[in-house]
Amino acid sequence: MTATEYDIAIIGAGIVGSSLASHLAPHARVLLLDRDLAVRGSSGHNPGFVGQLNRLPPLTELARRSVRAYSTVPGGFENSGCLEVALTKPELEMLRARGALARASGMKATLVSQAEARRLAPAFVEDCVGGLHFPDDGSADPKVLAKHYQAQAASAGATLLAADVLAFKEGAVETSEGVIKAKRVAVCTGIWGTQLLPLPMAGAVVVGQGYAYSSTRRPRTASPIIRWPGVQVYGRDHGDRDGIGSYDHAPVHVPTSDIGGHSTAASAWNKAFTGALARALALLPEQTAARFYGRTLAGTGTEDAAAAIIQAREAGRAHAFNSLFQVTSDGYPLVGRVQDGVYAAVGVWVTHAYGAAGVLTDMILQDMGKGEEKDEDAEIRRVLDPLRFAGKDVVDDALRTYNDIYNRKK
């Protein structure tokens, strides 16, 4: 192991940590650490939905910054648009209000008819009363993006190291490859963040959610990403297969004590999701739904239809898994200074990752005496403060936000 003392060791090489490394590498001696630099932790299992509008304006801003960056990476972002679908007239009124909010935020959004919604996404939309189309949204490929930012960081002088991080203390990081000197540490490890960070940092609660892939098919004309906000379902065209997920169920909390047993953010299916998945499949046109479970819903119990896809893992087969991620009671991730020389970027969605890494970069460079925090980001830094939940019992409050993860009710 080299005797180099790094200005900062970034733990976690998913999209957040890799973005942060690419930001910092031109200005500092950077070490990017991960047990698996192939991006199979959290980012590697993310379906990549990128919807920029959020009722929390700082998150909208971070999403817009991220999309601008992702759009310059070959294969990193597909500008397929997003279609939010209304099944009832009250839901359509909700979408009308979201459209007005989007336009007030400087975003494009158009209310569309039932016929236009079907035309935009015929493989996903059957019954509806209309929809809201966001043409500038789309889907990101977190693996492509993370690898791109890793390469950028390396070309600017960063060191990338595959190793398990066992612990860190002032001035040093203990890894499976030995002890490494580092003046500062940034923890960007997704669901594993609370295992490494000091006790004062709290607030990100790990939950599970079911996501399913259909069997493979021939590629077709790309569809926008789809949301049915009134019934808490989302779906997307993955190129050679379809995907669908639902958060229409009671939150499933994964305690911190259990996180160490997960090597990736893709876990075994939880039967608590089966009913929600069945209801989600029932929204799809019959031909699309059949690719998930191999038969039509006619005469089939909904739980049996969903259960048919849950355990399949063979190449090309439909399968479903438990996707682990984090929620907080106020909807914001935890990004910023935890204590002198220790920083966090935890609970950050792909949607906001590059923008959040930029905000943290300014903070770290200021601490190094190499830059200044931007005045226009003062509010963003305030709401992302990773210490804002210190001393509070946050689990129950965070779980109550699960069924509104897009912050539509705030």
Predicted local confidence at residue 259, as pLDDT = 74
- Does 199 lie in the same domain as 222? no
Q: Which DSSP category does 141 fall into?
A: -
Q: What is the three-class DSSP state of 350?
A: helix
- Does 239 lie in the same domain as 174? no
- Does 146 lie in the same domain as 185? yes
- Does 255 lie in the same domain as 194? no
- Does 187 lie in the same domain as 300? no
Q: Is the residue at 167 inside a domain?
A: yes
Estimate to the nearest angstrom the gap between the alpha carbon of 405 and the chain centroid.
Answer: 11
Name the residue type at position 375. Answer: D
Strands 252-253 and 178-181: unpaired
What are the 10-residue block averages of pLDDT along the chain, 410 residues in total?
81 95 98 82 64 95 97 96 97 97 96 97 96 97 94 97 88 92 94 72 85 91 93 94 94 81 76 90 91 60 60 70 90 94 94 97 96 90 94 86 74
- Does 15 lie in the same domain as 132? no
Token pair for residue 168? 């860190």
Q: Which residues is 140 bridged to in the sheet? A: 77
Instruction: Provide the phi-psi class of 384: left if phi over 0, else alpha when psi is between -120 and 50, else beta.
Output: alpha
Predicted local confidence at residue 1, as pLDDT = 46
Domains identified in the chain, total number? 2
- Which range of residues forms the domain containing residue 249? 81-138+205-327
What whole-number distance in Å separates Cα of residue 317 and Cα of residue 241?
A: 10
pLDDT tens for each residue of 66-122: 999 999 999 999 999 999 999 999 999 999 999 999 999 999 999 999 999 999 999
Predicted local confidence at residue 70, as pLDDT = 98
What whole-number distance in Å separates Cα of residue 306 and Cα of residue 211?
A: 11
- Does 313 lie in the same domain as 173? no
- Does 222 lie in the same domain as 187? no
- Does 200 lie in the same domain as 132? no
- Looking up residue 321, the CATH number of its domain turns out to be 3.30.9.10
- Does 287 lie in the same domain as 318? yes
- Looking up residue 361, the CATH number of its domain turns out to be 3.50.50.60
Predicted local confidence at residue 295, as pLDDT = 53
- Does 293 lie in the same domain as 215? yes
Strands 334-339 and 319-327: unpaired
Q: Is the residue at 66 inside a domain?
A: no
Domain final position from 279, 306, 327: 327
Predicted local confidence at residue 236, as pLDDT = 93
- Does 233 lie in the same domain as 129? yes
Alpha-helical runs (H) found in 71-139: 89-104, 114-120
